[in-house]
Each structure stands twice: as C-alpha cells, then as structure tokens.
Amino acid sequence: MRTPRPLKADLHLHTAEDPLHTIEYTAKELVSKAADEGFDVLAITNHHCITFNRNLASYARERGILLIPGVEITIRNRHILLLNPPHGKIPSDFSSLSNLRHPETLIVAPHPYFPNPHSLNGLLLKHLKLFDAIEYCHFYSPRINFNHLALRVSRYHGLPLIGNSDAHFPDQFGTTYSLIHAEKDPSSIFAAIRRAKLEVMTRPLTPLQMGSLLGRFLTMALQRQRIRHGQWLRARLRTRRSHLQFLPPYSPLSKE
C-alpha cells in the first residue's frame, strides 16, 4: 500500500498584517510564495492578532494550502505560539494557558533558548507540561546554534521538535520547515506533531546571511522604537493641550 507523502509545513510566520513589525509582504503574497515552493500547510502567527478569515483561507485552499489560524502571544514578556486557539480566548498568564490544553489547539515554545528577551529560557522547563512541541528555529549557522539546548530538552523530556522559519523577511522562508506525516486537516496534523510523526528539514545560514538578517532586525527594532516614541510624543502633546484648556485666564497685569 502506497504511503501518502508527508505534508510540507511552516507553522510560525509573520506578514505585513503584524502590528509590531514592518514586513514587506502580505499574507496573500506569502501564501502565493509558499504554493510556488510546494508547501501544504501554513500558520500565519502575527503578534497579538490572528490573521485569518474565510477569504484568506479560501485563497490558500485554491492554491493547495491548508491555512491554520495562529497567533504569537506574550506572557510575562515571553513569546508563545498558539495554533487554532479558541475564539476570543487568548490567555494572559501561564495558569490560563493551561486551559487551552485541548486536542484542537496546539501550544508551541518558539525559539526558546535564543538570546532574545522574549525567549522562554528557564520558563520552558518550569511550565514544560503546558507545551505540545518545541521549535527548532532557522536562525543559526554551523558554528552558532542556539537550537542545541532545545534539541537536548526535546530528547530528554520527550517533547516533539518542530521546524519553523519564524520568517519576517522573504529569504528566511523555506530555510527551516517540517515534513508532517498526517492527513491534511488540523486535528490529524496536531495529533501527528504530538506523536512526533514529523521530520525537521533545515539548513544552516552562512555567517554573511546571519549578519545581514541581524542588521535588518536591528533596523526593524529602531523603526519600531521611533514609531513608539512618536506615539508617546503625540499623546503627551494631547495631554498638555487638554490641560491648558482648563487653565484659568491669565493676565500679566493681575496682582495674583
């Protein structure tokens, strides 16, 4: 009996709809690129918002791609991936995250040991039972690889390892992904991931590629900081104007 081919999947992706990053390609453009590269399954996991609707799912389906709703949330300033979360139930702490432990929702620890203030680091082992899988992220080279500790945790604790790109730029996409042995529907895919019925497909970046990506991420962070500073200044000015409106009339000739 012929075994069906595994599904080519990337379940950690960002697009122009992300409210925290300036990304040049839209969700539809990413879907089109993924279709050209033979992907079967995607999850767009923008920060704090779910980029998914009927039209986008239909657009993906017409191109042979199953689009799974996803989001990258922040708990205690640490990032966590939720795939197919219940509508309107985004947790704000680890105790409420445990309420999402259902077969129809997948909880993934993204880039857990990368030198990033938003990585889980020690909180992963502390809350290990909340997670269904741990991510093997694309950003590494033959000499520098922060995935090694994630690999050790995966092997020691039996937590499945899933390959994702966490792409913010076009050339990141396709560098790391997973081949999942499942039927092409979310419940079958999640069950296969939990049983580690998948392979991580990955290749290291060259030092030049890593340096280029790091520079672009720093530029993106500076742009975000300028935007936030501009928003703070505008809010400050609005506050001052509203305060001035309530000051009593002032005359330089007043004796008070």
pLDDT at 8: 98
Q: Read off the pLDDT of each residue in 146-168 and give the average, rounded to a whole number.
A: 96
11 and 66 co-located in one domain? yes
- The Cα–Cα gap between 53 and 215 comes to 33
In a domain? residue 253 = no
Q: In what order do the strands lie in the sheet with 106-109?
A: 161-164, 133-137, 106-109, 78-83, 66-75, 41-44, 7-13, 176-180, 198-202
Which of 66-75, 131-140, 213-222, 245-254 has the weakest average pLDDT?
245-254
In a domain? residue 103 = yes
In a domain? residue 256 = no
195 and 226 co-located in one domain? no
pTM above 0.75, yes or no: yes
How many structural domains comprise the chain? 2
In a domain? residue 251 = no
In a domain? residue 109 = yes
190 and 219 co-located in one domain? no
pLDDT at 61 over 50: yes
- The Cα–Cα gap between 32 and 173 comes to 12
182 and 216 co-located in one domain? no
- Binned at pLDDT 50, 70 and 90, residue 232 comes out as very low
233 and 184 co-located in one domain? no
- The Cα–Cα gap between 42 and 51 comes to 12
Domain CATH code at residue 20: 3.20.20.140
123 and 213 co-located in one domain? no
pLDDT at 21: 83
Is residue 209 within a helix (H) or strand (E), and if so which, with residue range?
A: helix 207-244
Rg (CA), the chain: 22
In a domain? residue 179 = yes
- Binned at pLDDT 50, 70 and 90, residue 238 comes out as low
pLDDT at 248: 42
235 and 199 co-located in one domain? no
pLDDT in tens, 193-213: 999 999 999 999 998 988 888
Angle (CA) 155 162 174, round 5°: 135
- The Cα–Cα gap between 153 and 147 comes to 10
pLDDT at 37 over 90: yes
16 and 94 co-located in one domain? yes
- Binned at pLDDT 50, 70 and 90, residue 3 comes out as low
pLDDT at 221: 72
Domain containing residue 212: 206-245
Among 74, 189, 209, residue whose Cα is nearest residue 140: 209
Beta carbons of 147 and 119 less than 8 angstroms apart: no
In a domain? residue 23 = yes
In a domain? residue 1 = no
pLDDT at 98: 93
192 and 133 co-located in one domain? yes
The SS3 assignment for 137 reads strand
Residue that the structure tokens 């502390």 belong to:
126
More confident residue, 94 or 4: 94
Beta carbons of 51 and 85 less than 8 angstroms apart: no
- The Cα–Cα gap between 62 and 120 comes to 37
12 and 39 co-located in one domain? yes
**DSSP letter assigned to residue 47:** B
158 Rama class: left (phi>0) / alpha (psi -120 to 50) / beta? left
The residues, ordered by sequence, that sit 6+ positions from 203 with a Cβ below 8 Å of its Cβ are: 175, 176
**Separation in Å, CA 79 to CA 44, 55, 107, 124:** 15, 28, 11, 11
pLDDT in tens, 96-106: 999 999 999 99
% of the chain beyond a pLDDT of 70: 86
The SS3 assignment for 75 reads strand
- Binned at pLDDT 50, 70 and 90, residue 251 comes out as very low
pLDDT at 239: 44
55 and 163 co-located in one domain? yes
118 and 224 co-located in one domain? no
Q: Read off the pLDDT of each residue in 174-192 and give the average, rounded to a whole number.
A: 97
- Binned at pLDDT 50, 70 and 90, residue 39 comes out as very high
Q: Read off the pLDDT of each residue in 154-174 and give the average, rounded to a whole number.
A: 95
